[in-house]
Amino acid sequence: TRSIDLAVIPGDGIGPEVVTEAVKVLRRVAEGAGVDLQLTEYDLGANHWLETGEVLNEDTLAAIRQHEVILFGAVGAAPGDTRIPSGLIERELLLKLRFTLDHFVNLRPSKLYSGVPSPLANPGDIDFVVVREGTEGPYVGNGGALRVGTPHEIATEVSVNTAHGVERVVRDAFSRASRRERKKVTLVHKHNVLVHAGHLWRRTVEAVAAEFPDVSHDYMHVDAATIFMTTDPARFDVIVTDNLFGDILTDLAGAITGGIGLAASGNINMDRTEPSMFEPVHGSAPDIAGQQKADPTAAILSVALLLEHVGLPDAARAVERAVEEDITSRAELTDVRTTVEIGDAIVSLVA
């Protein structure tokens, strides 16, 4: 029988709350599909660091790498928690995994399901996917500070863009576009200011486009992209962009399609040399943590992306359909449901 060997990293804040529901859905779907689910949980994040002084040691990283695939919740300390240095867990756990496991495609689909209220007056038919580069850009940690604390302080974060890194993610975007109905790639960058990286991205898009004659492409500066994402988001099909622009655009994409509680993502190693990792786009949401207020849908839709990745497309569709059905019924719900109630509802809808 088919099996899935899954590592689960629930993390901090609402991470464990939404992951509990996502795992519930995954168990139900696996059961229905006759898939043997082997699950190993890793207790990592802010609390683990407070207790042990370690974020992610080499042995744990080696153990995580042995699994087929990873489900991640969210990490990040509460803003007032001064015991934990800002960005420590984000960099040393989440980004460490994305970089070490070479998750070069950070896939973030955005779809406005029917019945979901958008904050936009005329949202139109929103159905696009952001292919965010996941291993380079300003995220590499290549920077530093001089004369810290003086009036002459200089702080730098250097954005690293390699021909290899840009090409593989651009090729992935074109390949995805060629399998979609509208077959269109939009490169989002800022080559009017970031000329060196911008030109590498543009040249790469032109070169790769030649291999995909059925896919059209255009270009948009990132600032203008925020305009069109709010005035005419239906124009987008596949957006390819760098790590930081992609981070910012996908929170906006979540907001226009019913909220960040619905936005799913995959950190994918397309070469399949290391396990890929699936997670909601949102963070640990300290403002609502521990209150059963978090929407687990983003984590559950991330399970659908996971199932697709491990070669179980029917199971993925089953999760999507259950979510879609639940979402459609939300318009009629007057009471606000708890995290567990939403999870239970979706579990009961999985065919």
Of the candidates 209, 183, 186, 187, which has an alpha carbon nearest to the alpha carbon of residue 198?
187
Instruction: Find the shortest distance in angstroms from Cβ 60 to ligand NAD.
Output: 17
Asked whether the CA dihedral 320, 323, 327, 329 is positive or negative, the reply is positive
Kindly tell me which of 31 and 287 has the beta carbon lying closer to ligand NAD: 287
247 belongs to the catalytic site: yes
Note if 183 is an active site residue: no
Sheet architecture: strand order including 276-280: 36-41, 3-11, 69-74, 276-280, 264-268, 105-111, 127-133, 238-241, 184-189, 216-221
Q: Does 136 bind ligand IPM (CB under 6 A)?
A: no
Name which of residues 16 to 45 contact ligand NAD (CB under 6 A).
18
CA 203, CA 187: separation in Å to the nearest integer?
11
133 binds, among ligand NAD, ligand IPM, Mn ion, none (CB under 5 to 8 A by kind): none
Q: Which does 288 bind (CB under 5 to 8 A by kind): ligand NAD, ligand IPM, Mn ion, none?
A: ligand NAD
The count of C-alpha atoms lying within 13 angstroms of the C-alpha of 20, restricted to the half-sphere facing its C-beta, is 16
Q: Which of 18, 29, 94, 116 binds ligand IPM (CB under 6 A)?
A: 94
CB neighbour class for 234 (10 Å; exposed up to 12, middle 13-18, buried from 19): middle
**Interface residue with ligand IPM, options 29, 281, 301, 303 (CB under 6 A):** 281
Which residue out of 42, 111, 190, 242 is catalytically annotated? 190
From CA 253, how far away is CA 107, in angstroms rounded? 13
> Which among ligand NAD, ligand IPM, Mn ion, none contacts residue 95 (Cβ within 5 to 8 A by kind)?
ligand IPM
Q: What one-character DSSP code corresponds to residue 308?
A: H
247 binds Mn ion (CB under 5 A): yes
Q: Are 65 and 126 in contact (CB under 8 A)?
A: no
Shortest Å distance, C-beta 144 to ligand IPM: 19
Task: State the distance between the two ends of the chain, measured CA to CA, in whole angstroms.
Answer: 20
- Single out the catalytic residue among 237, 242, 247, 326: 247
Residue 349 interacts with ligand NAD (CB under 6 A): yes or no: no
Stretch that binds Mn ion, among 3-11, 177-185, 187-195, 244-252 (CB under 5 A): 244-252
Taking the C-alpha atoms of residue 209 and residue 265, their distance in angstroms, rounded to an integer, is: 25
The answer on whether 285 is annotated among ligand-binding residues is yes
Evaluate whether 103 touches 136 at the Cβ level (below 8 Å).
no
In the residue annotation, 139 being an active-site residue is answered as: yes
- The reply to whether 298 sits near ligand NAD by the rule CB under 6 A is yes
Q: How far apart are CA 248 and CA 30, in angstroms?
A: 34
Residue 288 assigned to a binding site: yes
Pattern 229-248, ligand IPM, x by CB under 6 A: ------------------x-
Q: How far is the CB of 250 from ligand NAD (least distance, A)?
A: 10
Q: Could you give the string, one character per residue 66-95, with x where binding to ligand NAD holds by CB under 6 A and - elsewhere?
A: --------xxxx------------x---x-
Phi first, then psi: give them for residue 55, nearest 5 degrees. Answer: -90, -60
Using CB under 6 A, count the residues that bind ligand NAD: 21
By CB atoms closer than 10 A (0-12, 13-18, 19+), residue 23 is buried
Q: Is 190 marked active-site?
A: yes
Neighbouring-strand partners of residue 9: 72
The nearest distance, CB 260 to ligand NAD, in angstroms, is 5
Between the CA of residue 63 and those of 36, 66, 271, what are the distances in Å? Answer: 20, 5, 20
Three-state SS for 74? strand
Residue 111, marked binder: no
Residues that bind ligand IPM (CB under 6 A): 90, 94-95, 247, 281, 283
Which amino acids are annotated as binding site for substrate, given as ranges?
98, 108, 132, 223
**Contacts with ligand NAD, residue ranges (CB under 6 A):** 14, 18, 74-77, 90, 94, 260-261, 279, 282-288, 294-295, 298
Catalytically active residues, by annotation: 139, 190, 223, 247, 251
